Chain A
Amino acid sequence: MQHTSATPIAWPESIEHGQSPSLAVWKFASCDGCQLSLLDCEDELMAVAGRVAISYFPEATTAMVDGPYDVSLVEGSITTEHDAARILDIRRQSRLLVTIGACATAGGIQALRNGRDVDGFTSIVYAHPEYITTLATSTPIADHVRVDLELRGCPIDRGQLLQTLAALLNRHALRLPTTSVCIECKARQTSCVMVAHGTPCLGPVTQAGCGALCPSFHRGCYGCFGPMESPNVPALRTQLGLLGLAGVDIDRLLNTFNTTAFAELEQTQIDERAPS
Chain B
Amino acid sequence: MRRWLEVESGVVSGEPSIGQPGGQPIDWWVMRAGDLHRFISLLKSEFDEVIGPVAVDGVIRLRPIESADDLPTGFTEQQETGSYRLLETGTSLRFSYGLGPDSLKSIVHPPRSPVWTMRRHDGTLIVDQALHGTTTRAVIGARACDLRALDILERTQTGGQHTDPAFAVHRQGLFLVAIDCSHPAPTCFCDTGGDGPVADHGYDIAITELDHPNGIVYLVRVGTDHGRSLIESLHLAPAPRTFLEHRDHQHRSISREFIRELPKDAAKVVRLADHPHWNDVAERCLTCGNCTAVCPTCFCTDMDDIVGLDGETATRTRVWDTCFSMEYSHLGPGPHRTSPAARYRQWLSHKLGTWHDQFGESGCVGCGRCITWCPVGIDLTAEVESLGRPVEANA
Q: Which residues of the other chain, A, contact B322 by a CB distance below 8 angstroms? A: 2, 179, 183
A239 in contact with B376 (CB, 8 Å): yes
B307 in contact with A182 (CB, 8 Å): no
Interface-located stretch among A131-139, A150-158, A195-203? A195-203
Chain B count of residues within 8 A CB distance of the other chain: 53
Nearest B-chain residue to A4, judged by Cβ? B327
Contact flags B297-334 to A (C-beta < 8 A → 1, else 0): 00000101111111100100001111011111010000
Nearest B-chain residue to A159, judged by Cβ? B306
Count contacts between A and B, CB distance < 8 Å. Answer: 154
Tell yes or no: B101 within 8 A of A by CB: yes
Tell yes or no: A188 within 8 A of B by CB: yes
Given the interface pairs A3-B327, A180-B289, A196-B86, the reply to whether A167 lies near B307 with Cβ below 8 Å is yes
Smallest CB separation, A53 vs chain B (Å): 15
Within the assembled complex, what's the spacing in Å between the Cα atoms of A170 and B312?
9
Q: Which one, B82, B85, B288, B293, contacts A187 given CB within 8 A?
A: B293
Interface-located stretch among A44-52, A71-79, A82-90? A44-52
Q: Which residues of the other chain, B, contact A183 by a CB distance below 8 angstroms? A: 288-289, 293, 320, 322, 325
Within the assembled complex, what's the spacing in Å between the Cα atoms of A189 and B107?
11
Given the interface pairs A51-B309, A186-B290, A189-B111, the reply to whether A273 lies near B283 with Cβ below 8 Å is yes
A169 in contact with B309 (CB, 8 Å): yes
Within the assembled complex, what's the spacing in Å between the Cα atoms of A1 and B283?
24
Within the assembled complex, what's the spacing in Å between the Cα atoms of A198 and B34?
37
Nearest A-chain residue to B56, judged by Cβ? A191
A165 in contact with B309 (CB, 8 Å): yes
A189 in contact with B376 (CB, 8 Å): no
B58 in contact with A191 (CB, 8 Å): yes
Q: Which residues of the other chain, A, contact B286 by a CB distance below 8 angstroms? A: 180, 182, 204-205, 231-232, 235-236
Nearest B-chain residue to A45, judged by Cβ? B309
B288 in contact with A195 (CB, 8 Å): no
A186 in contact with B111 (CB, 8 Å): yes
Given the interface pairs A192-B375, A235-B376, the reply to whether A218 lies near B326 with Cβ below 8 Å is no
Smallest CB separation, A2 vs chain B (Å): 4
17 A-B pairs with CB atoms under 8 Å apart are: A1-B319, A2-B327, A5-B327, A166-B307, A172-B305, A175-B305, A178-B327, A183-B289, A183-B325, A189-B61, A195-B374, A195-B375, A196-B85, A196-B86, A204-B286, A231-B286, A235-B286
Contact surface of B with A, Cβ cutoff 8 Å:
56-59, 61, 82-86, 101-102, 106, 111-112, 283-290, 293-294, 302, 304-311, 314, 319-322, 324-328, 330, 338, 340, 372-377
